[in-house]
Structure 1
């Protein structure tokens, strides 16, 4: 009985599968006889159909047996319906369709809406090709394939640009004072208090859409640069919902698992912020008002000595990075209405390096060699933190009006412990032995908030674009402490 049922089931399946046919045909212009590549043929009431190839031919497979209506359409041509096209089982039904050109009165307006993609290499190439000035850049697609943590590292990969002190940009051989920094079309203030310069190591690289350096002048750009304008574009609003979580780690043969000297800092050092424990006490004298009395200086030093001056040892941890990015798109009347993009990133990197410092006393005579004066060996143990948060909102009010609000907050800190061993008066019979330790915490912060508007007035055929921005850059060095121990050899 089981065998009979199996055979019967198989027979029914084959029979049901075989009750289909195929429709092929050619679509041509009724007047000229030319083929119409790209024209579509769809079975009425279904989504089954096909597009014509370069020769105007189309083919629709697995069409149910029976009579169907075939709808033929092409841009700037009147639609045509072939009624009662008969489809037979396992046979091919061939048709030839001639379309009439639509009159101008019947043509309807076609609106094509696209969103510019900025983060891939193709988009960046098109941007440079259409640019009225000479420019070079790098896209987010390329940045993802590099180990770069901040924008300063990314700049090294752009043709014609280099980095000084791992943060200041040099374009076409001209240093930072001759260059200008922009973010999303708005200028950035100087990050340095004593000169015109911007520290590009503040921005996390994973929050960039692209980075473009414009090297020649344009009418729509300011004329205050001689090297180049460095334009940073942060991530744009998503067109669909998504959530991305990434975790990365790095092993450094110089640091990971090796000895690290450190001091006890604040409780919030891990996020790049000082918790206030390094701050000077209330009533500390201003610069220029210190007493010359050594007893008062000693008393003042005792009052400010509130921190722990001890040096401790531990093992360097691996380099770690984390990022969470989410996008949400809200639609109204089947159209994009509100887009939200949020991202949080965190990077922790450990470094260690040594510096050999030697100074010499010039000899009064060219026949006598210079005499060594100081001989130092500095060991620097550094822990760098780069944290960032991004929140972008975009509202498409209607087809002609849209608003966007882009916000970025970034922290870049470095906590260094510098240990020095060496001697002074090296050439003398009684040199001094020097041992010193320095604790140096630096935190750089930037806040950028922008309101962008795009409006189109159809009757006047006028397009209005505007940008309102607020940027704040801070550098905090709460307390640089150094202890020095000196001993003479004959003591």
Structure 2
């Protein structure tokens, strides 16, 4: 069984991205405003195809595709298959989601949208964030986190204490955290389509830029207990304050060339950049170690780039 959403329906709905379009299909729900769930199964059980080609996972630790990275302006149609058939891949349990981007615009257009979001418990609250690089706001690492080239692949016991200290001094002293107020969430979208007719040929371009900057602050209380006779005896307890900043940058660039009535060429490009920084401040007490007070920091940064390119043609032999 397949359910489709046509270009006419997408225009009438005024949905801003592929995630909102999919939400209108019966039996489909959205998680975190970006992941599609079919028949109640999580995103890892779905297969996603862009222009009939399997898409790479947009997440680091799970099989998933972020549908909010594709704006509705560049989508021609969406098909969601809830049951298997011969022409579909067999590695899915929830559904197969097919997205088709537009070839060329019918007329020239340009639109721009800017949206902000308030997150209760996070926006304008005081948070702790590790010092990052100058390109973190785009999801790219500036290179300051890179280990020096002269470092050995592994520090074994053969290295003296002085040599290990010398290697450690080569690392930049950027382990402190800064106190700041969390900014509101930001979402930006720019779309442009152009159509030209040089001579007897027809040329079309479709450009889409999608940017999102999201902040999340949470507090967690952790308690650990003894494994001995008195299992109700606490061993340690901690209060964790976690702040994460997620950046998503997506670019769609399609080119279309109609040579004549029987020959057409298409070059479709999709690029996604994902960057996540996370800072955790842990405070608490380790009772098993003579009631030592604990203050610890954890810093993490992940950056991932995904590119998908397709060169296709439609050629009809002459009679």
The TM-score with structure 1 as length reference comes to 0.56
Corresponding position of 1:353: 218
CA distance in 2, matches of 1:300, 1:201: 43
Corresponding position of 1:474: none
- Displacement of 1:161 in angstroms is 5.0
Of the two structures, which has the highest relative contact order with CA contacts closer than 8 Å and spacing of 6 or more? 2
Q: Relative to structure 1, is the Cα distance of residues 419 and 140 closer, same or farther in structure 2, using a 3 angstrom cutoff? A: farther
CA distance in 1, matches of 2:102, 2:274: 19
Corresponding position of 1:419: 281
Matched, 1:250 2:112: no
Contact 2:243–2:279 (CA under 8 A) maintained in structure 1 = yes
Contact 1:167–1:199 (CA under 8 A) maintained in structure 2 = no
- Displacement of 1:163 in angstroms is 7.0
Report which stretch shifted further, 377-386 or 202-211: 202-211
Corresponding position of 2:314: 454
Q: Relative to structure 1, is the Cα distance of residues 387 and 193 closer, same or farther in structure 2, using a 3 angstrom cutoff? A: closer
Corresponding position of 2:300: 440
Corresponding position of 1:238: 105
- Displacement of 1:178 in angstroms is 4.5
Q: How many residues are treated as equivalent by the alignment? A: 312
Computed over aligned residues only, the root mean square deviation of the Cα atoms, in angstroms, reads 3.4
Partner secondary structure for residue 7 of structure 2: coil
Q: Relative to structure 1, is the Cα distance of residues 165 and 252 closer, same or farther in structure 2, using a 3 angstrom cutoff? A: closer
- Displacement of 1:337 in angstroms is 1.0
Q: Relative to structure 1, is the Cα distance of residues 211 and 278 closer, same or farther in structure 2, using a 3 angstrom cutoff? A: farther
- Displacement of 1:411 in angstroms is 1.0
What are the ranges of 5 or more consecutive residues in structure 1 without an aligned counterpart? 1-116, 122-138, 460-491
Report which stretch shifted further, 210-219 or 291-300: 291-300
Q: Relative to structure 1, is the Cα distance of residues 336 and 217 closer, same or farther in structure 2, using a 3 angstrom cutoff? A: farther
- Displacement of 1:406 in angstroms is 0.8
For residues 56-82 of structure 1, the C-alpha deviation after alignment (integer angstroms, 9 at most, x for no partner) is xxxxxxxxxxxxxxxxxxxxxxxxxxx
> Which is greater in Rg?
1
Partner secondary structure for residue 302 of structure 1: helix
The TM-score with structure 2 as length reference comes to 0.82
Partner secondary structure for residue 66 of structure 2: helix
Matched, 1:323 2:185: no
- Displacement of 1:325 in angstroms is 1.5
CA distance in 2, matches of 1:283, 1:159: 57
Corresponding position of 2:81: 214
What are the ranges of 5 or more consecutive residues in structure 2 without an aligned counterpart? none
Q: Relative to structure 1, is the Cα distance of residues 382 and 297 closer, same or farther in structure 2, using a 3 angstrom cutoff? A: farther
Partner secondary structure for residue 198 of structure 1: coil
